[in-house]
Structure 1
């Protein structure tokens, strides 16, 4: 049995792009039976130093797949290529 796919959206408070990205991720992930995780980078100094200028950031299984704007079609394609799409 394979591991479940983990979708994570890195965000911070007051980021309107983050709100939009999280909504898009929730909508697409629901099609695959996945609940995306939201992670506020302001609570993690290392993540803040790495991703502060690229928010929001979409990770699938810990790997960066998109940033700034989350394209629902691209996310749908990426998920269909993982175990979530099988």
Structure 2
């Protein structure tokens, strides 16, 4: 079963590092699986999200970008 939470980011991105910490914490508390995709490994993702990262999606819907809010992620997972 695919993870409900997807983090789109790239290496060397400090906002992505911050988002990863939020996603890790929230998903850990809720027992939710998550995955991370480096947009630089996919030309389509890079074209779509190039300057908007990090992006967090839950069940395919965007719930945040740039600064990821833990409360908003909790609500999206409820």
Superimposed CA distance per residue, residues 3-48 of structure 1 (whole angstroms, 9 cap, x where no aligned partner)? 7761000010110000000110010011111132010000000000
Moved beyond 2 Å, runs of 4+:
none
Runs of at least 5 residues in structure 2 that lack an aligned partner in the other structure: none
Normalised to the residue count of structure 1, the TM-score between the two structures is 0.84
Pairwise CA RMSD? 1.4
Structure 1 runs not aligned, ≥5 long: 81-86
Q: Which has the larger radius of gyration?
A: 1
TM, length-normalised to structure 2: 0.92
Q: How many residues align?
A: 78
